[in-house]
Amino acid sequence: MNKDNSQQITFGGGCFWCVESCFNMLKGVESAISGYSGGHTSNPTYEEICTGETGHAEVVQITYDPSIISYDQLMDVFFFLHDPTQLNRQGNDIGTQYRSVIFYKDDAEKQNAENAIRESEATGKWSGKYVTELAAFEKFWPAEQYHQGYYHVNPNQPYCSAVVGPKIQKFKKHFGELGMLEADSE
């Protein structure tokens, strides 16, 4: 990968354990790191953001090489992995920390995100109006170390085996057929 060409995108689509695991399997993704963004407190902890009072969302910050994977492809994966029509929830995960959100760094990225939302919504994959929030990126706080690669280390944890595992299998089937996964992820 060309690290000089690397770009970053930060978004939230529910629990970061699944989102991070999936993005780390994609060709062209250098890293996907679980963390927090969009809140009003510094150095938030997992326990604090779970209260919903800090304003943060569980997010994943992705560093990628756009010569290998495009912004549009990342958006396709993002909208595949979560239901963007559910306000402040994904399945049984309820609260503002689980909101659908794209953090943009400049006007061009905001426009690209708006276009991606419109295009995804037009596919009809999800019934209902998208509630994905667009917010200016301010700060990314990496989550505690035990959250990084959580599913990989804890596949038999009850939430992982019941919720994350099936979602990852669906992701691997779909994006594997498109040839977008690293060889060791298939």
Which residues have a catalytic role annotated?
15
Written as six digits, the tokens of 20 are 């991070």
Whether 60 contacts 35, CB under 8 Å: yes
In this structure, what token pair is assigned to residue 138? 């301010």
What is d(CA 185, CA 172) in angstroms, rounded to the nearest whole number? 8
Distance separating alpha carbons of residues 122 and 107, to the nearest angstrom: 23
- Bridge partners (DSSP) listed for residue 62: 9, 32
- 3-state class of 181 per DSSP? strand
Query: Cα torsion for 78, 129, 174, 157, to the nearest 10°?
Result: 70
CA–CA distance, 120 with 130 (Å, rounded to integer):
9
